[in-house]
Amino acid sequence: MDVRRRHFTLALGLLGTGALTACSDPPPQISRLGGDDRPLTMRLSPAADLALMGSVHNGAVLWRWEDGQIVARLEHRPGAHADVMAAAFSPDGRWAATGERDSVVLWDLMARRALGFWAPPGGVRALAVADGGRRVLVGLSTQQAWIIDPRGGTTPAVIEQADAVGVTYLWPDGRTGLTGTDDGMLRVWDLERGEATLTARFDRPLATVALSADHELLFAAPFHGPARLWRLKDGRVLHEEWGERRISLSSARFSADGRRLLTGSPSGEVRLWSVKSGKVLQRWQTPKPDPVRPSAAGILDVAFTPDHASVIAALADGSVVVWPKG
């Protein structure tokens, strides 16, 4: 393991706003982050108060999106250009991982410092962090997933796959993980034993997954086509075809009580679903930013506010939008 010192600098940023409407009233709150720099990835923190943006020009930046202030800049190489293509928060929000094509960095967000640096053999596609920053699961384009123990100093364990790994997820204790590959395979792993405990195939590459707070329900969606919902204690599929056949989803998150599911799509639509019935309860749409651009910005991540009174979406144009549920 190549562990190097990383620079973690603080700065202030400016907030921009733009025109955006939704299907609810009053109108949404809009925060424009990053100026003209468009994100390659953006993740909302578990408390939904921070946004971790990876981009071409600015590397990785941690934003307090509500007032547009930069909390920290996360530099893979001091003063050097970095295309940060993947990012993830730990379930408790204290740790984060960022990845460019050939490197992964683990960050302690409270201490504001990097804990470790790794150079995987192939392009980094997906990241997950759990167990107090003691486990990182990395999805690679080289048909592998890496299991990293940042504090153990051991060589990363490797899970061989049949295709590129575009989705990874870790349960909070880090003992269970999930991989999703471009051939449509989803696997839930007992990482202590190296065994798959649940396997499923989709017709398209996996796009997003979500786990309920009690770890009982797993939601998974491909890039195009119906999603599925499992009850994990017995592996039963509760909803075999979630959504219409032409649906496309890019992000998902359960409510704290597990009764609602929030999803975002590449077309800019956010939906609130009943987990029990699988039906849409409410929806919001991001319109075209201007007449010249052909479509609305896609959704990179979604979240509920802590009081569940509003929903939040991180957009591919660098905006964070908040709609009241009404």
Model confidence over 73-131: pLDDT tens digits?
Answer: 998 877 667 789 999 999 999 999 999 988 999 999 998 899 999 999 889 999 999 99
Q: In what order do the strands lie in the sheet with 251-254?
A: 251-254, 260-264, 269-274, 280-285
Q: Please report the pLDDT score of residue 78 as a whole number.
A: 72
**What's the length of the chain?**
326
pLDDT score for 295:
54
Q: According to the model, what pLDDT value does residue 25 have?
A: 55
Average pLDDT score over residue span 34-43: 84
Q: How far apart are CA 198 and CA 177, in angstroms?
A: 11
The alpha carbon of residue 37 and the mean position of all alpha carbons in its chain are separated, in whole angstroms, by 19
* pLDDT of 19 over the 50 cut: no
146-159 per-position pLDDT tens digit: 999 887 666 789 99
DSSP lists the bridge partners of residue 323 as: 311
The answer to whether residue 220 scores a pLDDT higher than 50 is: yes
pLDDT band at 215 (very low <50, low <70, confident <90, very high): very high
pLDDT above 50 for 28: yes
What percentage of the chain reaches a pLDDT higher than 70? 87
- Confidence band, pLDDT 50/70/90 cuts, at residue 26: low
pLDDT of 254-282, one tens digit each? 999 999 999 999 999 999 999 999 999 99
- pLDDT averaged over every residue in the chain: 87
In this prediction the pTM is 0.87
Segment 166-186 mean pLDDT: 97
User: Integer distance in angstroms from the first to the last C-alpha of the chain?
Assistant: 50
pLDDT at residue number 80:
67
pLDDT at 17: 33
The position carrying tokens 């923190």 is: 45
pLDDT at 82: 78
158 neighbors 145 (Cβ within 8 angstroms): yes
Q: What does DSSP assign to residue 16?
A: B
Alpha-carbon distance 101 to 122, whole Å? 7
Going across the sheet that includes 113-118, the strands are: 86-89, 95-100, 103-108, 113-118
> What does the pLDDT read at residue 296?
60
